[in-house]
Amino acid sequence: MMLSRVAEHFYWFGHYIERAENTARIILAESEMILDVPDVSHVRWRTLIETCGQAHTFDALDIGDDEASVLGFLLTDTRNPGSILQTVLFARENLRVIRDRVPRELSEALLRLRDHVKNKGAKSLQRSAARSAYLRGVIDLCQMFRGAVEGSMSRGPEYQFMRLGRMLERADMTTRVMDVRYDKLLPDTADNLAGLDEIQWVSALNSLSAFQMYRREVRGPVRALDVIEFLLHNHAFPRSLQFTLAASRDAAGLLPTPGPVCKALDSALTKIEGLSVASLSRDGDKLHKAIDNLQIAINGVHGSIHEAYFKPQ
């Protein structure tokens, strides 16, 4: 027996932890990439906001898009529902509801993560060394949390809802990384410096911790279409769209009356498989449209989960 509300809390719990970790990875990769860019005037910190899907909230606050403003917004600003601090606080609130259904280790790991992100002033994180240590700490503690989940949690509906939340959050992030990266690399950037293109795609892979795995699969220079192909279709890499949605399909299949959700996932998977990267070539519009379509499909999956399990009957 599982209440719809409790199921929803597990689902969002999965989302929040994944989002905190992904946000940390993206900022870390971007910060490191920037060290390689010869002229920092080319750096657009705002890209990070777009990758995190928070442009709307950010613009409404009108706080300027320099480094300090952007990072403050993404790390510690509780007005940003996607900031690392706020996601962890959301997860903490969720834990109050689901605590009796999760192993104690998992609660403890989350409380450690909360302690790590709490009471960190935006100022103290402006120094890049401190920031980097902070972000690595977030990633480590999220990994520890996941270790507790994998190692000690029964594979009941609680686990499956959490996994669905995690995988869909991940899928979302991967689509946004492709989309935003591609946007910034279109050839019309006349002042584009030679080699910068490759640096940025390496950074894109890094932000999904995909660089090493990509290297093992694809040889030669890092090229946009190869990266897109890898992030869309690779069956083995755990952050590719193909993988995240197939894993979601597995999780959904283990829930009661899984029909509608599985159908939505099958349709999203069919779309991914049908997408030929070669045909997109370097036509930005085509790729944008294709990614838009995938995001619509992912939203459809989310909608079907909501409809099937969370919605007031």
Partner 1 sequence: MGVPKKFAGLRQAGMYDELLNPARKNEPVASAILKFFGQLSPEEIEQARQAAALAIETMGISFTVYSQGDAIDRAWPFDIIPRVILQSEWTRIEAGLKQRVGALNQFIGDIYSDQQIVKDGVFPEWVLEKSVNFRPECVGVKPPHGVWSHICGSDLIRDAKGTTYVLEDNLRVPSGVSYMLENRGVMKRIFPQLFQNRTIQPVDAYPQQLYSTLADLAPGGKANPTIAVLTPGIYNSAYFEHSYLAQQMGVELVEGPDLTVDDKDRVFMRTIDGLRQVDVIYRRIDDMFLDPEVFHPDSILGTPGLMRAWKAGKVAIANAPGAGVADDKVVYAFVPDIIRYYCNEEPIIPNVPTWLCADPEQRDYVLKHLDEVVVKPANESGGYGLLVGPHASESQRKKTAVQIRKNPRNWIAQPCLNLSTVLTACEGGIAPRHVDLRPFILSAKKQAVTMGGLTRVAMREGSLVVNSSQGGGSKDTWIVQDGGGK
Sites of contact with partner 1 (CB under 8 A): 1-5, 7, 93, 96-97, 99-100, 104, 107, 157, 255-257, 309, 312-313
Least Å distance between CB 89 and partner 1?
A: 10
Least Å distance between CB 168 and partner 1?
A: 17
Structure tokens that stand for 291 in this block: 């990614």
Structure tokens that stand for 212 in this block: 């090493």
DSSP, residue by residue, 121-166: -TGGG-SHHHHHHHHHHHHHHHHHHHHHHHHH---SHHHHHHHHHH
Least Å distance between CB 160 and partner 1?
A: 10
Q: Which DSSP state fits 209?
A: T
What does the alpha-carbon distance between residue 153 and residue 104 come to, in Å, rounded to a whole number?
10
Least Å distance between CB 3 and partner 1?
A: 5
Kindly tell me which of 255 and 297 has the beta carbon lying closer to partner 1: 255
Least Å distance between CB 6 and partner 1?
A: 9
Kindly tell me which of 4 and 209 has the beta carbon lying closer to partner 1: 4
- The whole-angstrom distance between residue 1's C-alpha and the CA centroid of its chain comes to 31
Kindly tell me which of 237 and 309 has the beta carbon lying closer to partner 1: 309
Residue 133 CB coordination number (10 Å): 12
Kindly tell me which of 99 and 223 has the beta carbon lying closer to partner 1: 99
CA distances from 26 to 20, 32, 73, 218, 305 (A): 10, 10, 14, 22, 27
DSSP, residue by residue, 62-79: ----SHHHHHHHHHT-TT
Contact between residue 146 and residue 140 where contact means Cβ atoms under 8 Å apart: no
Kindly tell me which of 10 and 230 has the beta carbon lying closer to partner 1: 10
Kindly tell me which of 17 and 261 has the beta carbon lying closer to partner 1: 261
Least Å distance between CB 233 and partner 1?
A: 32
